C-alpha cells in the first residue's frame, strides 16, 4: 500500500523508527503495518514536494485470530 504523508509526519516517523523496528523484530506477529520505504518526489514545475510511504499488508504473515475488522471510517464489520 502507498500512502502520502505530510512533512511533519515524516519527521515524526523518523523519530520513532528505531523503536518501531525493535518492536517489529521482537513481535513478528504484530498487526502494526510494516513500513518498507519512505520517499520524496520533488515536482519542480509545480513547486511542490510529495512525501509517501510504502507499507506491506498487515495480514501477510500475521498469526492469530482476527476478532474484528474495521473500514477506513471506523465502523465495525
Strand order in the sheet with 48-55: 2-5, 48-55, 35-43
The answer to the question of residue 8 being in a domain is yes
Domains identified in the chain, total number: 1
Q: Collapsing DSSP states into helix, strand and coil, what is residue 33?
A: coil
61 within a domain of the structure (yes/no): no
pLDDT at residue 76, as a whole number: 47
Range of the domain at 10: 2-55
Note the pTM of the prediction, 2 decimals: 0.65
C-alpha closest to that of 3 among 34, 24, 25:
34
Q: What is the pLDDT of residues 55-74, one digit of tens each?
A: 987 665 555 566 666 666 54
Question: Mean pLDDT of all residues in the chain?
Answer: 83
Amino acid at each position: 500500500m502507498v500512502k502520502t504523508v505530510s512533512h511533519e509526519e515524516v519527521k515524526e516517523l523518523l523519530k520513532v523508527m528505531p523503536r518501531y523496528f525493535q518492536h517489529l523484530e521482537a513481535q513478528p506477529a504484530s498487526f502494526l503495518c510494516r513500513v518498507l520505504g519512505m520517499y520524496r518526489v520533488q515536482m519542480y514545475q509545480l513547486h511542490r514536494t510529495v512525501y509517501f510511504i510504502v507499507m506491506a499488508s498487515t495480514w501477510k504473515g500475521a498469526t492469530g485470530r482476527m476478532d474484528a475488522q474495521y473500514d477506513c471510517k471506523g465502523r465495525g464489520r
